[in-house]
Structure 1
Amino acid sequence: MRVLNLQGRTVLDQKATSTTGITTFDVHDLPAGLYQVQLFDGQKLTTQRLQKE
């Protein structure tokens, strides 16, 4: 799991594990703004937008 800022720089990179299909991660230390969250399961890359207020 990777979180990127609007400049494309990785601001959080961690291994995500889930047995329930729900992945959680802590963005408490990130400043407010828009980010991209990328999840890669070894075959498929999924990208979602995240807005932290």
Structure 2
Amino acid sequence: MKKTIASTEFIVRMNEEANRLRGLAVAFDKAIAQFGAKNLAASLKTPCKTPA
């Protein structure tokens, strides 16, 4: 019985982690759409600046 509870907790944690990563991916997609891939790549290489 204890093993079942532990694996359920594990699955819940993995789902939370997956949702968090999905959120990051969505945010990244939005950033790429907004700035364009080349601009985003350039801005990742340079120190952080607020877009004009």
The TM tier, using the shorter chain, reads under 0.3
Taking structure 1 as the reference length, the TM-score comes to 0.17
**Structure in which a larger fraction of residues adopt strand:** 1
Higher relative contact order (CA 8 A, sep 6+): 1
Taking structure 2 as the reference length, the TM-score comes to 0.18
Larger Rg: 2
